[in-house]
Amino acid sequence: MQCTDFADFCIVAERGAQVMGWVSGYRPPTAPRDFFVWQVAVSAEARGRRLAGRMIEELLARPENAGVTHLTTTVTDDNHASWALFKGLARRWRTALEKIPRFERDAHFAGAHATEWQARIGPLPLGGASSEENG
């Protein structure tokens, strides 16, 4: 479904025939100026090379994402790699990262899953969030 129905909002990074990374997302119908990052995956050998950030920037640069002003996602507190990615993007784009609870452990998961925090980054730089424009 992600790669067919949401193909405009997914990206795959390959080296030869090997998949090195994948990012999926969408623009929520109730918040069309947001791009919600649904999943991020990077192979062990590609980690530490800013691949996830570059894939997100490529997605945001697509014509389908014209008008996006904020990047959002949900992350548990213990997902240090994801927090590093999203904090790094906010720094790179010189914009704010807001962290608020979205799905709480007790209220939404009956204590069976950690709270999912919403990370909201923006406003995004005019003209996209590419590295060439934002150092």
pLDDT in tens, 94-104: 999 999 988 77
Determine the average pLDDT of the residues in 20-46: 95
* DSSP H/E element including 119: strand 116-122
pTM given for the model: 0.87
Strand, coil or helix: 75: strand
DSSP assignment of 6-21: TGGGEEEEEETTEEEE
pLDDT given at position 129:
58
Return the structure tokens found at 53. 């950030």
Cβ neighbours, 10 Å, residue 121: 24
pLDDT given at position 135:
43
Residue with tokens 């709480």: 104
> Mind listing the pLDDT tens digit for each residue in 59-113?
999 999 999 999 999 999 999 999 999 999 999 999 999 999 887 767 877 888 8
Q: Is residue 118 pLDDT above 80, yes or no?
A: yes
| Architecture, CATH, for domain 7-134 | 3-Layer(aba) Sandwich (3.40)
* Per-residue pLDDT band at 131 (split at 50, 70, 90): very low
Strand partners, 21: 13, 42
pLDDT given at position 26:
94
Average of per-residue pLDDT values in the chain:
89
